[in-house]
Amino acid sequence: MLVLSSPSGAGKTTLANLLLKADKHIYPSISYTTRPMRSNEVHGKDYYFVSHEVFDEMVKNGEFFEHAEVFGNFYGTPRKVVETYMANGEDMVFDVDWQGNRSLTKLAREDVVSVFILPPSKKILRERLMVRAQDSHETVELRMKKANAELVHWKEYDYVIVNRDLDESMSKLHAILRAERLRKVRRQGLVDFVNQLIDETL
C-alpha cells in the first residue's frame, strides 16, 4: 500500500495519477466521500460521492478499512476492495491525509510504504491552490490555515519528497516504489526459487 499525503495543493493527487498512468502494476484506492463533487471529477473514478447518511451507515457496517474527517467532510477507504487486491499480491496507491496514513499504518504496518509530499514554499502552495480554481477564495484560505497542522506530521512518513519539479518528483516516487517492491518480504515466490537454486544439481 503506497500512501501519498500532503497539504492541499502540494501535488499528491497529480503524482498519484501520473504514477497510475506510468505503472501498470499499481491500482488506485478510490475513497468514499461526503464532500461535493467538483466540476472536473467523475463519480467512481476520483471518488465515490455519497451522502452523510450513506457514509454513516457504511461506518456502522464496518465497510471501511479506515475513515477520517477532513475540512468538515468525511473520507473512507473501502475495506473489501483493499483486501481483495492485497490478497492477490497487487500494489495500491492511497491519496489520503495524515489521519488516513496513521490508520493504515496501524492496521497493516508491514504492507504500508508512506510518502509525504512537501511544497517548495507556502507562497507556491497558495499559487497552486489558486491556479487550479477548484475552490472558493474562502476555502483556499482555510486550506492554507490548515497547512501547518498537516505539515507537522511529516515525520510519521517513511519518505519525504519536496515537490519543486513534477518530473523530478515523479522520478523519485517511482524509485521508491521500485525499491520497496524489491524488499525480500514482498518478493512472492522468492523462497521457493532460492530453495530450488540450492537443490539444483549440475
Q: Which of 36-50, 92-106, 161-175 has the highest mean pLDDT?
A: 161-175
User: For 65-120, how does the pLDDT look when each residue is reduced to its tens digit (9 = 90+)?
Assistant: 888 888 789 999 999 988 898 888 889 999 888 988 998 999 889 999 999 999 99
Beta bridge partners of 93: 2, 28
Place of cell 497529480: 14
Contacts of 91 (CB under 8 A, 6+ apart): 1, 2, 25, 26, 27, 85, 177, 181
Residue 134 has pLDDT above 70, yes or no: no
Q: How many angstroms separate the most distant Cα atoms in the chain?
A: 73
Per-chain mean pLDDT for the chain: 90
Q: State the sign of the Cα–Cα–Cα–Cα dihedral 142, 17, 90, 158.
A: negative
Domains in the chain with CATH codes: 2-196 (3.40.50.300)
User: Cell digits for 68?
Assistant: 477520517
Closest CA to 131 of 9, 2, 3: 9
C-beta separation of 52 from 33 below 8 A: no
Q: For 108-124, give one letter per residue: b (16+ CB within 10 A) or e.
A: eeeebbbbbbbbeeeee
